[in-house]
Structure 1
């Protein structure tokens, strides 16, 4: 038996799990080589270093009523939570943004967001929130990064955070959306197999909750661009309260980029309690090249991220063979 390496994605549209697994592995291999682990980097690129899986749950967000069955949407009743999420993102960026042009875009979006408080009805509020997202798409990193084709798509993808935390949208068996997503994640984990888990964006929120129900060893949990510390929308809605490191986690490394607008409060050790073994997240900043830095592959290609992952897989393998 080899250790497992499990990738858990964040917000976004439909993905092909095998394609995503390949791109995440390739990025991690690049980072491993930068960290001085060339043999392991080559093994990672060939999927020969660990039992690797891409835990895909994005299909669970797809509305059967959406055009073509593929578009994300803002659920009725979740528009106010999305407003608060956008407010925290904008206010955090305004506090740190030195560029006058970007500040003007953010200030315009903030004025539009203030106007949503006078919106009449849920449909009007959703339209106004889409307008705010359309304005935010004028930010250089968002526009040139090509992450979203429209403000409506951006709003729908960001709303995946609030939809998960709403604990609603039950299926025919009464299982809510968040339950189904956690169940999907846990299906990729084996209690008898140590697993290094890498969770990105919303995936870090899902993983934090799912691992509370996992009994197997997690030698290393890595979170990338995590919104766990968002104090108006995410942190107060996490379960259980107060948020704590799952007992199965032996080490937790959290990475953030200053230009990552999805991780506005990155120092997770300030917002998460230690587990019974004393494990707390340890946060570290990275500086990625390029315009849109929130993508998981940008983080994985960093030596400071890939190096500890390689070492954790190696040590887990040695424990298995001892």
Structure 2
């Protein structure tokens, strides 16, 4: 049985799963070709276009954005005024600014962050999500003045950024139960579990999707020869890390290799290298963190990560190895080290 490729999206607004699947597939195929894996790229694009039926690979897009939207529709423009979400978002604001301050050294940036820290501090009379969102908008406006994100104002507004942070907070709040009593985070993980199936599956997750996928894989017995995380907030020590399940955070038993990619200009991947803090999986498996450098002013995009040869090459190799027919570079680009390598650690 051929291995399955599973994409897990992250934060963001409403999505068209088919459109996103096609865009992610094109980006990954482009990166595979740049890494010298033309055959793997052809097979992947054949899947997306319906060509090469004899070589078709199952590619799934684990879509859960509609679950956030359904809850927001119940509560108006800013969603539900849920106490658990308000608390999580408030803590996220303080943690996010503190994490940024820990990795910035420029005096001007530190001054901006000092102002943002004051704005992020909880207010004594503050009640409900709406007031926290207003505070979050002020913080986001200030943070977007930092280098290099000031130029990103035309690409991502404070409102958009806060909306994305809210999704992290809502997932970690473990609230918003449906009529059956199933909370939002469990409903989201069920979508990932359905996409992964019985395996084998190479799982590529982005942003909030890395947290979702990590927790979902702990609940599955499927074989996952490679887990790839892109622009992950997993390493945020004061909010995400202590709320991960199970505790202490560790590598799922199903995972045979884990590559974690980060860009130094990614506003979400604040503390990108977390392998030393995770409990190893069977056989001593821990993540290997690698830095990539993308062009442009907003580098948190999944497509930008996927198009990187250093990201796409190991995915091509893992898919081939899982199939029992290793994809080797065809001479069109550099050979990428495998998931067990310590090369290019951030």
Is the TM-score greater than 0.5? yes
Residue by residue over 1:193-236, the C-alpha shift from the partner in whole angstroms, topping out at 9 and shown as x without a partner, is 31000011111111111111211210100001111111111111
Give 1:94 deviation, angstroms. Answer: 2.9
Number of the residue aligned with 2:149: 141
Q: Which runs of 5+ in 2 are unaligned?
A: 48-54, 327-346
Matched, 1:163 2:170: yes
1:65-104 alignment, distance < 5 Å: 65-67=74-76, 75-97=82-104, 102-104=109-111
Residue by residue over 1:79-121, the C-alpha shift from the partner in whole angstroms, topping out at 9 and shown as x without a partner, is 232233223322333333355654444333222123x344433
Number of the residue aligned with 1:28: 28
Instruction: Tell me the C-alpha RMSD between the 2 structures.
Output: 2.3
Return the TM-score normalized by structure 2. Answer: 0.84
Choose from 58, 62, 65 the match for 1:55.
62
The alignment of Structure 1 onto Structure 2 pairs a total of residues equal to 315
Residue by residue over 1:126-178, the C-alpha shift from the partner in whole angstroms, topping out at 9 and shown as x without a partner, is 322222123333445265264534x3342232111121111111100111111
Cα gap change, 1:147/1:195 in structure 2, threshold over 3 Å: closer, same or farther?
farther
1:1-322 alignment, distance < 5 Å: 1-47=1-47, 50-62=57-69, 63-67=72-76, 75-97=82-104, 102-114=109-121, 116-122=122-128, 123-139=130-146, 140-141=148-149, 144=152, 146-149=154-157, 151-191=158-198, 193-318=199-324
Q: Secondary structure at the match of 1:196?
A: strand
Return the TM-score normalized by structure 1. Answer: 0.89
Cα gap change, 1:275/1:81 in structure 2, threshold over 3 Å: closer, same or farther?
same
Moved more, 154-163 or 224-233: 154-163
Give 4+ residue runs of structure 1 displaced > 6 Å after superposition. Answer: none
Q: Which runs of 5+ in 1 are unaligned?
A: none
Question: 1:145·1:292 contact (CA, 8 Å) conserved in 2?
Answer: no
CA distance in 1, matches of 2:7, 2:235: 21
Number of the residue aligned with 2:343: none
